[in-house]
Structure 1
Amino acid sequence: MQQKLSTREEYSKRINIVIEYINNHLSEEMSVETLACISNFSPYHFHRIMRAVLGEPVGAFITRMRVETAARLLRYSDMPIQEVAYKVGYDVPSSLSKAFKTFYGISPNEYPNNKTYSIMKPIQVNPDFKLEQRIVDLKSMQAIYIHLQGDYNNNDYGAAWGKLWEHVHKSGLFTEQMSRLCSNTPKSHILRKMCDETGINHICIYHDDPKVTEGDKQRADVCLSIKAKVEPKGEIGVKQIEGGKYVAFLYKGPYSNLGSVYDTIYGKSIFEFKHLLASRPGFEVYLNDPECTKPEDLMTEIYVPIE
C-alpha cells in the first residue's frame, strides 16, 4: 500500500512540473518528446498518463490553452492580432485564425469588430462595487501549492490549504514565531498577522477565464507563499509566483460575488487606467479567515498583472 502511495505522489509531482512548463511556455514550440523528457515518463506512458489527468490529449490541451489565451487578449487588450498570435505560439496569424475559428466559429480578425458576437458567457458589471485599487511592484514569491482541476465554484479550497499547512508542519517549516502568532493572535486576525510577520500569504492562482473555459477544465493553484527553502512532495508542488507590476483591487464582501467583481474589473476598471495587461496570470490573496468572518466582512485582494 505504501508503494502505491509513493508512486502516486511521484506521478503527481511530475505532472505538476509539465503543466507548469506548458503554462509558462505557450509562446514556444513544445514537442511531446520534450514534455515527456521533462516529466521523466517515456513517450508511450506520457500520452496515457497526461490524458487521464487532463481529460484530453496533451496536444489538445496545449492548443486549447493557446486559443483561450488569445481570446482573453483579444477581449481585454488592444494588442494587434499578429502580436496575439506570436504570444500564444503561432508564427503567423493565419494559424491562429484556423484554430480560433474551429473553437469559436469566428475568426480573430472578425471578433474584435463584431460587437454583437460573444464567444464568452455574458459579463455582469456591477457599478455599485467599491473597489479600492493601487499599483504595486511585487517581488517574485516562492510558494507551495496544490493544483486543482474542476469548476471553480465546486473546488474544496479549505481541504487543499489544510494539506499545505500539514506539509508545513511535517516539513519542519512551522517556526516558533508562527506558533507564537497562532497562540497570541485572535483567529480572525491570524492570516493578516501571518502575512505581515512571516511573509506567508494564502493565494489562489486561476489559470482560466470561466467565461471561456468549461467548468471541468478550469485550473486553479491553491498556494501558500513561503520564504523557507522547501522541496516538492507528491501533489504538493513548489513554484515561483512571478513578480512585476500589478493593479491590486481590494474587495470587501462574500466570495459568492467574486465572479461579478471580476466582470466589473475587466469590463470597466481596466479601461480607466493607462496600463496594458501582461500575459502572466493574476491571483487572489485572502486577508481573513472565512471560518470566523462574516461573509460581508471578507477581504480579498485581486492582483491583475500589467506591463
Structure 2
Amino acid sequence: MNAKIEIKEMPKMDLAYVSSLGPQNLEQAYGKLIQWATPQGLMTEQTKPVTIYHDSFKVTAHDKVRMSACLLLNKPVKTEGEIGLTTIEAGKFIVGSFEIDLSEFEKAWTGLFVWMNQNGYKKADREPFEIYHNNFNDHPDGKAIVDFYIPIE
C-alpha cells in the first residue's frame, strides 16, 4: 500500500449530507444523497463524494460510529428532509493519497495517524474525512482512489 503524504492548506468546502450510524448504513446514506442530487444536476464527472467521521473506530463501537455521507457542492442548494448542509472549514490538513482495497481503509487510517505522531503534528479539534476520486466498483482491481484528511493545528 503506497501512500503519498503531504501537508495542505485547504479552502472551505460546502457539502450536502445524509447522516449514517455505522459503516453498515453508509451505502444506503449515499443512495439517498445521490437520489436527491441527481435530479438537481449535482451528479457530474466533477462531483466528489466525501465521508466525514464524527467518531473514532478506536473508541466507539463499530456499528455506532457516526458518519456523514456527503457531496462536495460547487453552488448553493436548498435541502429538505434527511438532506442537510454542512461545511468543512478552511485549514491545514495531513493528506494521504491512496489507491487501496476497501479492506485496507483501517490500515491506511492507522498508518496516517502514526505518521502524524512521528512527525510532530497534533490533530486539530475537527473531524477527519475522505474524498473519493472514483467508484471502486468501476476500477479494474476494485480499488478506491481516495484522499484521507486529518485536520492539524
Do the structures match in fold with TM over 0.5?
yes
Looking at CA atoms only, which structure, 1 or 2, has the larger radius of gyration?
1
Deviation at 1:295, TM superposition (A): 4.3
TM-score, length-scaled by structure 1: 0.46
Structure with greater strand share of residues:
2
Deviations 1:241-280 (A, max 9, x none): 12200010011110111111112222x2112323321110
TM-score, length-scaled by structure 2: 0.89
1:131 paired residue number? 3
- Asked if residue 237 in structure 1 is aligned to residue 87 in structure 2, the reply is no
What's the % identity of the aligned pairs? 27
User: 1:1-307 maps to which residues of 2 (within 5 A)?
Assistant: 129-150=1-22, 152=23, 154-157=24-27, 159-170=28-39, 172=40, 174=41, 178=44, 190=45, 194=46, 200-266=47-113, 268-295=114-141, 297-307=143-153
Distance 1:291 1:297, change over 3 A: closer
Deviation at 1:209, TM superposition (A): 1.0
> 2-side partners of 1:229 and 1:261: how far apart?
33
Structure with greater helix share of residues:
1
Instruction: Give the secondary-structure state (helix, strand or coil) at the position aligned to 2:136.
Output: coil
The higher relative CO (CA closer than 8 Å, separation ≥ 6) is in 2
> 2-side partners of 1:215 and 1:272: how far apart?
26
For these two proteins, the number of residue pairs brought into alignment is: 153
Given that 2:130 and 2:148 are in contact with CA atoms closer than 8 Å, whether structure 1 keeps it comes out as: yes
Mark the runs of 5 or more structure 2 residues left unpaired by the alignment. Answer: none
Deviations 1:72-116 (A, max 9, x none): xxxxxxxxxxxxxxxxxxxxxxxxxxxxxxxxxxxxxxxxxxxxx
Whichever residue aligns with residue 306 of structure 1, its letter is I
> 1-side partners of 2:26 and 2:64: how far apart?
16
> 1-side partners of 2:118 and 2:63: how far apart?
33
Mark the runs of 5 or more structure 1 residues left unpaired by the alignment. Answer: 1-128, 179-189, 195-199
Deviations 1:116-151 (A, max 9, x none): xxxxxxxxxxxxx4221111111111110000012x
